[in-house]
Structure 1
Amino acid sequence: MTRDPAFPPLMQGHAVDAGIDPFEKACAMAALGCDAGTIVHNVGANRLAAALIMAPEVPLEQAMAMLPTCGVGFQNALGAIAPPEVAVHLEWAGGLRINGASCGRLRAMAGTTDPAAMPGWLVVGLEMPLMLTDAVPGDAPDRTALYEEGCADVDPVALLEGWARHTLVWITRWEDDGPRALHSEWRGLAHGIGEEITIDGQTGTFMGVDENFGMLLRTGGDTRLIPLSTVLETDT
């Protein structure tokens, strides 16, 4: 039987059954006025899923920094308990990569989609496959699962607890000291900077991000800013 996770002060857990999506549940709870710091979670045999409810006090475009914050928190958490050769990288839109292959994702929804408005609430969800259950190994070389990458001894509950702790540390640093340290940490983990990518219907070179983690995409001689708020989900 999976033990109950222990979360740091300012955070509290809300477990859900396997048939309930923690992200959808968290968004519904947030819209009804749930306390910030609640982590809705489910740890199954094949998948870890969780969602953190936040109540940002800044406009949405600034608050979107919580998506990369949760990504850095995840990398720090896994890095602390996984074998040292396991590499974690973060895609700009929330995808997670382990040893170069796609392995889970972060996703976000907020109380508004207006970049200049106070969102009221923001939910960032984490999904991490523990085992591949719908593909024969080798059929999808760009997709993997945690236990396939030398992490079979990683306790998913410990990973969830670590994600909460490290994410809280980075949220506090962002609130107290501004985004500089977060930018530096995230850039060292970012996947695809300097490479050609296709996103938002456009192909170009991923040049980096602005102060709010908006993507700078260069196409020919032009550089376009794609706000991070464009990755928000609007309907669960």
Structure 2
Amino acid sequence: MSEVSFPPLLSGHAVTGPEDPFDTACKKAIIGCDAGLVTYNLAPDSLRAALVFAPEVPLRQAMAMLPTCGVGLQNALGALAPPEVAVHLEWQGQIRVNGARCGGLRCAASSTDPDTIPDWLVVGLNIPLWPASQDSGDTPDETALYAEGCSDVEAPALLESWARHSLHWITRWEDGDTKALHTEWRGIAHGTGEDTRQAGLSGTFLGIDENFGMLLRAGDTTHLIPLTSLLETP
């Protein structure tokens, strides 16, 4: 496996084979690992990684780490991929490259109570490098990074860049610069103003609130769907 280096405050733990770094990160967080641990699996056809956090704010606010890591990924690809490659983020965590879905982010925490400060929170990243099938016509809305003109983007370099850019935005968020993060995310958000379905509700995706909750307009009612609704059970 290629050597991967991380910026200060972050440390790496490589896994191999079928081991899912997201599951590994959750297990280590439950045991009590340090915040800033990056678990990763660099397979020939995919990049999978996860980042462990130790929030100091209630889960409702801490969930901002999910879109923050998405912005970090978009910035990383912006630095490494050809300039014509477009990267956007869906509210649910999916990543779109040149309009098609290309992996995504997921999140788990020690608690699902929005008003409780969780002991830990983990954000996972999965990016397919090569398509699962040679016939892309079978899944026209699904793609892989190397199928979109990014074959020169090496997985270790992308992982390092994702960690650096995510840490940059995490630091700005911790320093109170939430406006910049919101502006950055809105500029690369996919589906704003379009009809969608989330949490059993159908409507128009109007945007986000201060905690990145989805504002969904259904008829005369605007629903707020919190990011905590996306939490997975570790």
TM-score by length of 1: 0.98
1:118 aligns with: 117
1:177 equivalenced with 2:176 (yes/no): yes
One-letter amino acid of the counterpart of residue 146, structure 1: L
Aligned CA distance change for structure 1 residues 183 and 40 (closer, same or farther; 3 Å): same
Distance 1:83 1:143 in 2: 20
Deviation at 1:135, TM superposition (A): 5.5
**Segments of 4+ moved more than 4 angstroms:** none
* Contact kept in structure 1, 2:76 and 2:161, CA below 8 Å: yes
> Matched residue pairs, number?
234
1:192 equivalenced with 2:191 (yes/no): yes
SS at match of 1:177: coil
2:19 aligns with: 20
Cα deviation code 1:99-136 (max 9, x no counterpart): 00000010000010000001110000000000012452
SS at match of 1:86: coil
1:166 aligns with: 165
Distance 1:80 1:116 in 2: 37
1:207 aligns with: 206
Distance 1:135 1:101 in 2: 16
* Contact kept in structure 1, 2:42 and 2:156, CA below 8 Å: yes
1:47 aligns with: 46
Over the aligned positions, Cα root-mean-square deviation in angstroms equals 0.8
Deviation at 1:53, TM superposition (A): 0.4
Distance 2:62 2:207 in 1: 19
User: How does 1:80-159 map onto structure 2 within 5 Å?
Assistant: 80-134=79-133, 136-159=135-158
One-letter amino acid of the counterpart of residue 61, structure 2: Q
SS at match of 1:102: strand
One-letter amino acid of the counterpart of residue 166, structure 1: H
Distance 2:55 2:134 in 1: 39
1:223 aligns with: 222
Distance 1:19 1:55 in 2: 27
Deviation at 1:234, TM superposition (A): 1.4
Deviation at 1:178, TM superposition (A): 3.3
Distance 1:125 1:119 in 2: 17
SS at match of 1:75: helix
Deviation at 1:4, TM superposition (A): 1.4
One-letter amino acid of the counterpart of residue 149, structure 1: E
**Which range is displaced more, 169-178 or 107-116?**
169-178
One-letter amino acid of the counterpart of residue 17, structure 1: T
TM-score by length of 2: 0.98
Deviation at 1:159, TM superposition (A): 0.3
Distance 2:167 2:22 in 1: 18
Distance 1:199 1:123 in 2: 22
One-letter amino acid of the counterpart of residue 117, structure 1: T
SS at match of 1:138: helix
- Could you tell me the percent identity over the aligned residues? 62
* Contact kept in structure 1, 2:102 and 2:144, CA below 8 Å: yes
Distance 2:215 2:208 in 1: 5
Deviation at 1:139, TM superposition (A): 1.1
Distance 1:134 1:229 in 2: 33
* Contact kept in structure 1, 2:16 and 2:42, CA below 8 Å: no
